Chain A
Amino acid sequence: MPSLDDLRKRITSVKSTQKITKAMKMVAAAKLRKAQENAEKGRPYSEKMNNIILNLSAGVSDPQSAPKLLVGTGKEDVHLCVVLTSDRGLCGGFNSNIIKKAKNYFEKIQKEGKSLKIITVGSKGYDQLKRQYGKSIIENISFKESKNINYFDAAKVGNLIIEKFQNEEFDFCTIFFNKFKNVISQIPQAQQIIPLENENKDKDEKLESNYEFEPNEDEILSNLLPKNISTQIFKAMLENSASEQGSRMTAMDNATRNAGDLVDKLTIQYNRSRQAAITKELIEIISGAESL
């Protein structure tokens, strides 16, 4: 049985923890709104980009001469995985969910006897993967210094990937991130970016191909595809940051509630033992008086 003093100390400490988690929840809520806004603002760009690429690739007649970024190298030996995580913890299952998804994929690839290369973006992902897959990690990028997510950071990652692709260091590239659905649920995603996978392959919509191209289709396509890689990564980063804040908000909300429950329980225990002590003292006094 802890003494009254111990109980009092515990209650204060739980209460101050609760204050911290509450504050973190507020901060996450404010940041979430901004992150969500950014994610929404970023959508038109990637959608438009996708549209144009669809229109263009519909016009590519000969897959032999098409850019490799679109159709792949023809081999499938080396897989590059880009795992996007956050730089900060205390956000519930956010990072673990991405890592779990990525690990499943890694295992599948290794079982098939293909080799694996990993780029981690964000320090949490690196921390969780380095023990098991340390040898496969070829690059670890972190944008701790950038206050906001910006396109230039995404372009840095994109250019790195393209450079490696041109040096024929890999054949497939997949990115892992959390897609923001709502505050409570974020869905880990694996998206293949090289060769390009069409998200909506239903060709019911006949694409207009009476465009005038300047210069020719191939040249535009080979100029556009590298940009599209950066755009996809940027989109993933935006989704990720909204997810991170959402996840943190839920986690901190839960923590605050748990702390509240704990304080209630401890307070009852404190009052009980205080009452017990008083009763004990009374009994002692009364029995002392009776014996006289």
Chain B
Amino acid sequence: MDQFNLEIISPEKSFLTKSDTEEVVIPAIEGYIGILKDHIPLISFLKPGIIDVRSKNKTLNYYVDDGIVEFKDNTLSILTSNIFDLKEIDKNKVDKIVKDAEEGLKKENIKDQDRYILNQKIEVLNSIKSN
């Protein structure tokens, strides 16, 4: 399969750069998007979810909280402030994020969009935990 470049950048550092990705599935705000080589230029932002990075015989999975995605000239850039590898997941940390999200849901003046995002977050994290 054709390959393209992927870079995942967090504010602190360049989290991951790869040039042999074949397909990336990202949790865009309006639903998951699969990206292959020669996708048209795209800008979107992410909701909490799991990024699937597929290269020849390896699949990497990351959890992201939020972020911005740009695809241009066969380079996919993902800017995100909170990302971690599903393999090195820390149960306590996940529990804490879930708890924070649940606290956030209890607030009265919460906007619909925020509620949607928090619900997403809890759902995704709970499914990670049960696996």
Contacts and interface: CB of A to CB of B under 8 A. Distances in A.
Are A and B interaction partners?
yes
A220 B9 contact: no
Contacts, number: 73
Nearest to A211: B41
Interface string B1-41: 00000010111111000000000000011100100000011
B108 to A, nearest CB: 17
A151 B11 contact: yes
Given A215-B29, A227-B68, A42 B42 contact: no
Contacts of B45: 220, 223-224
Contacts of B7: 44
Contacts of A231: 11
B73 to A, nearest CB: 10
B95 interface: no
A56 B77 CA distance: 15
Interface residues of A, number: 30
Interface in A19-61: 38, 41-42, 44-46, 48-49, 51-52, 55-56
A45 B30 CA distance: 24
A42 B13 contact: yes
A16 interface: no
A154 B7 CA distance: 23
B43 A45 contact: no
A214 B42 contact: yes
Contacts of A223: 45
A45 B13 CA distance: 8
B43 A55 contact: yes
B11 A45 contact: yes
Contacts of B41: 208, 210-212
B70 interface: yes
A212 B9 CA distance: 21
A48 B79 contact: yes
Interface in A178-224: 208, 210-215, 220, 223-224
B44 interface: yes
Prevailing SS type, chain A contact patch: helix
A208 B73 CA distance: 11
A211 B81 CA distance: 23
A214 B13 contact: no
A49 B81 contact: no
A224 B68 contact: yes
A234 interface: yes
A41 B12 contact: yes
Contacts of B9: 44-45, 48
Contacts of A211: 41-43, 72
A91 interface: no
A223 to B, nearest CB: 5
B9 to A, nearest CB: 5
B44 A213 contact: yes
A149 B7 CA distance: 23
Nearest to B78: A48
B87 to A, nearest CB: 23
10 contacts: A41-B12, A48-B70, A49-B79, A151-B81, A208-B41, A211-B72, A212-B40, A212-B43, A214-B28, A223-B45
Give me the 4 closest cross-chain CB pairs, A-B, nearest first: A151-B11, A41-B13, A214-B44, A211-B41
Given A48-B70, A52-B68, A224-B68, 20 more contacts: A44-B9, A46-B11, A48-B9, A48-B77, A48-B79, A51-B70, A52-B70, A52-B79, A55-B43, A151-B11, A208-B72, A211-B72, A212-B40, A212-B41, A214-B44, A220-B44, A227-B81, A230-B81, A231-B11, A234-B11
Interface of A: 38, 41-42, 44-46, 48-49, 51-52, 55-56, 150-151, 154-155, 208, 210-215, 220, 223-224, 227, 230-231, 234
